[in-house]
Structure 1
Amino acid sequence: MSGNLAEKIKFGALSVDGKVLPFPKKPWGYEGTHAPFPGDIPRYDGGQIGIVHNGSPHKVISWIPAKCDGKDLLIADRNILSHISWDELNEQGLISGVEVKLYGKRYLLRVLTGGNRPLDGDYELGGFPHSNEWDSFITNRTATSSFPFPTNEDLGEYVSEESFNGTHNRYWNWAYTYSWCQESHHEVGSGRALRGFDSARYWYYSTSASRYTYIGFRPVLEALNSESLPSDDKKDFSKQLIKSPQIELFKLTPASDLKVLSEANEIIFVENALKSKAYRRLLEDITENALVGRYESRFELFVDEDPRLLDVFLTALEDAGYSATRGDGGPELFVNWNY
């Protein structure tokens, strides 16, 4: 049984050669029995990998806070890049770690440790040494109450319907995808550790040059120089950021004094935009038109509402499956759902 699980922190986005990629909603790389449609983990086709500031809701990464041996970690709750080899990650320092700076804090960006061989020679028992990070956190060997405990189904020989849809996989997203880990195989020179795919505890390996859609990059951020993670507000990273009254009120006061948002405050802006009265009006307008048989809607902001709201609304509508475009004549959106 799991108690109150550690809530996920959402910030930063995956960038490859300066292009910000979407955060996967179907985080598996193999169309298995219980995943009857393909996953959507972005595929790596070369380029410089990084984590950057970004406030777009469909691109922000979900992290799980963890603490072990005096280290404060943020572990991505899924693979965020697929079809990438261990060698390609290592060339960029992303296996053992490369220093990055996000929101004024310094981190080591790397992958988890997962053991250099299967425990007792059995792939289903996890990795050795047992103190590796995958088993400590994801398998929850340390019996941390803020992490879900894997059930017998989660530790089975293969993914079952119960394990695929269960709490543990929904929290850590290990089914039908392997995550690269740091270690080299203790006997096979080119072998590198993989974890996940068949079960929460499964250990496997592949050659360091392997590139498959079902093998990917699950990043970890390790705080440096005692720069601890948010404590009281771990569940909401945005609470650690300075809020601006202008952002909360969505007013131009006046337009000539409008300042460019910092990337940190952009996250707050997006979150509050989706809680605003303007967004509720937009949804109500769509609902009213749909109820009378229409397939389109026109939405316009009030004169004292920030026109940047439309950018947030446009992204949210497209993520929900609507077709939406900005108007040419003013702060308005045209929404269509008949296509």
Structure 2
Amino acid sequence: MIEYIGIRQMGGLSHAGQILAPATRPWITDLAALCPYKGLQPGNIPEFERDPDWDNWFFTDSPEGSSERLNWHVFQREGIRYMVADRMLMTRVSWQDLNDVGYVYGNDVCIDGRLFRCRLMTGGDTSHDDPYQGATQPNEWDTLVGGAALNALKPEVLDHASPLSPDHLKSPHNSLWNWFGAVSWTAEPVASRADGRVCRGYHGPTYFYVNTVDHRHEDIGWRPILEEEL
């Protein structure tokens, strides 16, 4: 069984030679069309669409300042370590953008002298009748983010309640995983739609949502998982 180990800081994200600190408001970046609740400030996640050239975006070794390092949830199973970003690193990036550079199914990256396979989590291809309950088949999102792993924090009932409110933002589970107002791409095409791709989060920790493969939106983005052989 996969086991939750804890949170680690490692690496950084650079754009055009400048280290970008992890977002302090890791949710939807434009509230004009969609706002989780009245009075919320816009998120400040970096937006790929402002400079859609992957040559200008890359992982770095761990910066000296802890506030600039990326935060990862660490899991381990049978000689493999998995590190999942604790928030979206980028928004206004499409599934196709990520696939073009290999970040959907796996591309090698080196951070602090360690080799990782960087990809998206699996998220299932079919939703339960209630999308708050996630996917119908086993997948990494429901296992890792959803709290099914050994020693992992499980969401509370109120995390799945509608509509969104400040209580969701402040919940212990969201404080760890930052799913509030942020929909993360996963690897699977949706079973019922050729141009649809599964994304998870925003309304709740295991909420199941579908968007178009090449769309860039202010609330949908990139939350990588790093895989390392031990």
TM range (shorter): 0.7 to 0.9
Q: Secondary structure at the match of 2:11?
A: strand
Q: Which amino acid aligns with 2:147?
A: N
SS of residue paired to 1:50: strand
1-structure distance, mates of 2:21, 2:87: 13
Residue identity in the other structure for 2:165: S
1:112–1:133 contact (8 Å) kept in structure 2: yes
Distance 2:24 2:69 in 1: 11
Contact residue 174 and residue 197 of structure 1 kept, 8 A: yes
**What is the TM-score with the length of structure 2 in the denominator?**
0.87
Larger fraction in strand: 2
Select which of 52, 57, 71 maps to 1:46.
52
Query: Structure 2 counterpart of 1:199, which letter?
Result: G
Counterpart of 2:162 (choices 150, 157, 169) is 157
The alignment's TM-score, normalised by the length of structure 1, stands at: 0.60
Letter aligned with residue 99 of structure 1: D
Partner of 1:167: 172
Deviation by residue 1:104-132 (Cα, 9 ceiling, x = unmatched): 2210011111111103x331210131x21
Counterpart-to-counterpart distance in 1, 2:164 and 2:77: 29
Contact 2:135 2:208 in 1 (8 A): yes
Distance (whole Å) between structure 1 residues aligned to residue 120 and residue 17 of structure 2: 21
Contact 1:153 1:160 in 2 (8 A): no
Contact 2:122 2:188 in 1 (8 A): yes
SS of 2:198's equivalent?
A: strand
Preserved CA contact (<8 Å) 2:120 2:187: yes
Does 1 or 2 have the higher relative contact order (CA < 8 Å, sep 6+)?
A: 2
Deviation at 1:160, TM superposition (A): 3.1
Q: Is the 8 A contact 1:22 1:59 kept in 2?
A: yes
- Partner-residue secondary structure (3-state), 2:159: coil
Highest Rg: 1 or 2?
Answer: 1
Q: Distance in 2 between matches of 1:161 and 1:21?
A: 26
C-alpha change, 1:90 and 1:194, in structure 2 (3 Å) is: same
Distance 2:179 2:79 in 1: 26
Deviations 1:67-110 (A, max 9, x none): 24653101000001111000001000001110111222210011
Which position in structure 1 is the counterpart of 2:27?
28
Equivalent residue number for residue 138 of structure 1: 145
Match of 1:122 among 130, 134, 137: 130
Pairing 1:178-193 to 2, within 5 Å after superposition: 178-193=183-198
| Structure 2 equivalent of residue 109 of structure 1 | 118
Paired-residue identity, %: 28
Letter in 2 for 1:51: F
SS at 1:154's partner residue? helix
The alignment status of 1:9 with 2:11, answered yes or no, reads no
Structure 1 stretch displaced more, 10-19 or 89-98: 10-19
What is aligned with 2:216?
Answer: 211
**1:125–1:202: 8 Å Cα contact kept in structure 2?**
yes
Uncovered stretches (5+) of structure 2, i.e. residues with no partner: none
Alignment match, 2:68: 59
Deviations 1:112-162 (A, max 9, x none): 11111103x331210131x211100111124x22x2110111122332332
Separation in structure 1 between the aligned mates of residue 155 and residue 39 of structure 2, nearest angstrom = 19
Pick one of 194, 202, 205 that aligns with 1:200: 205
Contact 2:184 2:201 in 1 (8 A): yes
CA pair 34-162 structure 1, distance change in 2 beyond 3 A: farther
